[in-house]
Amino acid sequence: MAWLLIPLLPGGIAAEENRFVLAVRIEGIISASTSEFMVSAIHKAQSEGAEALVFELDTPGGLDVSMRQILKEMLSSRVPIIVYVSPSGARAASAGVFITIAAHIAAMAPGTNIGAAHPVTMGGEKMDKEMARKVVNDAAAYLRSISEQRGRNAKWAEDAVRRSVSVTEKEALSLHIIDLVSPSLEDLLQRVDGRTLRAPQGRITLHTKGIPVKRVEMSFRDKVLKVISDPTIAYIFLILGFYGLFFELSNPGSILPGIVGGIFLILAFFAFQSLPVNYAGLLLILFAMILFLAEVKVMSHGLLTAGGIISMVLGSLMLVESPIPSLRISKSAILVAVSVTVGFFVFVVTKGLGIQLRKPTTGKEGLVGEIGVVRTRLDPEGQITVRGEIWTAFCDEAVEVGQKVRVIEVVGLKLKVGKL
């Protein structure tokens, strides 16, 4: 009967078979959607009893608030967390530095780099020197504390925040920023096997050699949130939303443009809550749309359009401000959006002015300038034919039958004409 106890033993066959490592690929900026995904992965690893959780990281950085949500979960995780900066050519910059150093084990692939951990805050507002100094000091102290907790180079960590220094994987290893350099995940798991780590529940020994790796992919919802959190996509949604509302207000009852525009605006504002948005820029874009709309209704000889162009360009450039290129709106997208918007409203205004200045073709005003033929002698009054209609006309001089005259004015039911 002793064989029945084997599955219950810690080193038994069942225990060996149940061991696995959870691996998650993290690419792109650290935003609200990324934070939610990483936190859920940590919870999943803990609830399923994973031997370890590996974050394969490649990021230019991200938002401070999202990063701190991730770090809180990492530092309190009961499952050992390995951050592996990979593949070759990847980087762990800005928020990626904090995440890498906060791991129980930090590793990098050959041809990668880490550093430039200057903080990026929410709101997009310009900070004065005193406020900027406070933010930097706070981030430096935070990263130094994490480094000391994980037994890593706290001096370099502070320099990464204050001086935005960056190093290669070999330099990171020699400076004791990371634990090892490994060419692949399989090699990494073999080399960390047997290491003893400190976790909230006590010391843990890793058993990662040869055990299966389960990969966690982003759900459809997470992927959608990640896409719409891109600053350029959010900006395009904002412009399309304004277009939809403009067409709905211009043609009440169209319904579809209003619905589509409303959806785009809601998605844009959802994305903006997780981006460093400058609300002055958002107001300038809104003001530009108001000016463009007013140009259609008011004769300003192009002044409103010019004001709208300036306001839209400035607002677009100011809308999302960040030292990280991935957290800024693409200049090409701004150029296309401004050009299309300006072109559309210039076209509308030009057509409107053309219609206003066009000579009337119906009613009394439409007869002025028309050419008629005399049916009965005008001396001074007689009859003429204009547009196939017979009119009573009068002229300051006598005009014989068959001669042509031009309509000068409509007086009651008579036409004043002049001899050609």
Active site residues: 94, 134
| Beta-bridge mates of residue 167 | 114
Taking a C-beta distance cutoff of 8 angstroms, is the pair 281, 265 a contact?
A: no
CA distance 25 to 326: 18
Q: Which two tokens stand for residue 314?
A: 């400035």
CA distance 231 to 248: 26
The answer to whether the Cα torsion of 60, 64, 70, 76 is positive or negative is positive
Residue with tokens 């960056």: 166
Whose CA is closest to 27, among 227, 197, 177?
A: 227
Taking a C-beta distance cutoff of 8 angstroms, is the pair 412, 394 a contact?
A: no
Residue 385: count of CB within 10 angstroms of its CB:
13
Whose CA is closest to 95, among 254, 276, 253?
A: 276
Whose CA is closest to 103, among 207, 192, 171, 226?
A: 192
Could you give the strand order of the β-sheet that contains 21-27, starting from the edge strand earlier in sequence? 180-181, 105-108, 81-85, 52-58, 21-27, 213-216
CA distance 367 to 356: 17
CA distance 376 to 89: 94
Which of 184-215 are b and which e, b meaning 16 or more Cβ less than 10 Å from the residue's Cβ?
ebeebbebbeebebeeeeeebebbbeebebee
Whose CA is closest to 167, among 240, 127, 112?
A: 112
Whose CA is closest to 295, among 252, 248, 344?
A: 344
